[in-house]
Amino acid sequence: MKNKSYITHLLTLLLCVGWATTAYSQIGIGTTTPEGAVDLAGSNYGLLFPRVALTGTTDITTITNPNGGNITAGTVVFNTQNTTTGSNDVQVGIYAYDGTSWVPQFTREDYVIYKQTGGCQRAPIENFPLTYSSGNAISGLDTQIFTPKFSGRYRIEVKTNFGAGKIEDFTTGDESYISLATAEGAFFFKLNGAGGIDIDPDSSSYDYQEGWSYTHSYSSENDRNGTSIESYNVPHHGTLVYYLYLIGGEPYTYSLRHKTVTGQGYFQNNGTSGDGMGHLGHDLPCSVEFQFIGA
């Protein structure tokens, strides 16, 4: 009886050890047949990661290692807040710690293009000063607001398009059949907003970093063959590109303006009305693009 009882207890102990080993090597939740180290089963429930409010991608105090020491690489949390410090900002979503910083586990895409509205806009030749404050607003691109989805670096591209108007036939005689003139001026891009962004063409003349962009276009008339051949509205395309750190959720106000000040005496109606005026966005509208490129 003693031997039989001993054997029974021994077999029971071995079965328990074997079950414990299986239980600790594979964990099933909602299933009795786990097919991995941890197997979650369910048709109407989801998995919840720990919900925490990170202060930034370099935050190493909000989350702790229960065994002490540094946060283990591979730690995953759901961050519940957006930060707007302008440095190492985080947005709501799942983050994983890579041993140095918290890395977002979701796609961050933000691209918006704003285009000139109303078709070709006529541009009169005016008097100096050649400044943003005295410039003419580009339709659809003046005092507009862009609000970025994320905090991080954005590529901002400003595309401009200017063509001169019709010129006067100011040459005569057998040796002077061709008239040629240029209209010259500038585009001005202004951007203000959170994080110390201040692109202001009025603050520093002739500086593309402050939003000033020179532009010009030629027009001509050729009477050599008896019938006048005219060439005008030949576009001058220009581009300004900025790489700036913008803060998610904060509004940024931008404006695009233009002014022409050179060539008044050579264009029809002195370039102030009718066909003598220049063209803005005749074949391709002026535009302002914002694209998120990373933290």
Quick: pLDDT tens for 216-275.
999 998 877 666 788 999 999 999 999 999 999 999 999 999 999 999 999 999 999 999
Residues 6+ apart with CB under 8 A from 41: 28, 29, 30, 31
Q: Count structural domains, the chain.
A: 2
Confidence tier at 292 by pLDDT (50, 70, 90)? very high
Residues 95 and 199 in one domain: no
Tell whether the model's pLDDT for residue 129 goes beyond 90.
yes
Give domain status of residue 16, yes or no: no
Residues 58 and 188 in one domain: no
Among 4-8, 58-62, 168-172, top mean pLDDT goes to 58-62
Residues 141 and 271 in one domain: yes
Q: Name the more confident of 174 and 93.
A: 93
Give domain status of residue 68, yes or no: yes
Domain end among 59, 78, 106:
106
Where residue 146 sits, what CATH number does that domain have? 2.60.120
Average pLDDT over the chain, rounded to whole? 89
Residues 6+ apart with CB under 8 A from 215: 160, 162, 184, 185, 186, 187, 236, 238, 258
Q: Rounded to whole angstroms, how far apart are CA atoms 97 and 49?
A: 13
pLDDT tens readout for residues 9-50:
544 544 444 444 444 578 988 888 999 999 989 888 889 999
pLDDT tens readout for residues 201-227:
999 878 999 999 999 999 998 877 666
Residues 124 and 255 in one domain: yes
Q: How many CB atoms lie within 10 A of CB 83?
A: 20
State if pTM tops 0.75: yes
Residues 91 and 154 in one domain: no
